[in-house]
Structure 1
Amino acid sequence: MKKNTMKKLMVNEIQKGIHNYAPVEEIKRIDKQIADLQQQIDFLMRSKNLRALPNAAHKRRCGF
């Protein structure tokens, strides 16, 4: 079986399974929440890294 055909079949089966558990609107809402949370995590990680840089530079200068 071709790779593309297999992918299409897998996508169809997954979609069938998802529809058994939740309506499309609910899935889209959850996907949006996940994306928003990921953006918040990315922002916090960048903020943490920016705050950590001066401390790390200080430790290097002091020989820690």
Structure 2
Amino acid sequence: MTKTNNIEKAYDFGASEFNRKMKRITQERLKRGLPVSLDIPNDATPEELEELKAFDAWTRDGQPVED
């Protein structure tokens, strides 16, 4: 969850099989000490940047992936 202008926004990244797969890949790479990166479009809006930051935090939170 992120907080902007006193409004909390919740993202349900676990609803997508692609996102769950990305989280598994990220966690495996972190476990092995390998670098992890996230592509950010040059023309990303502030809202898109906020969502990408939240997604990155979600993939690195250390919690197991729910199937």
- Judge same fold: TM > 0.5, yes or no: no
More strand per residue: 1 or 2? 2
Q: What is the TM-score with the length of structure 2 in the denominator? A: 0.28
Bigger CA radius of gyration: 1
TM-score normalised to structure 1 length? 0.29
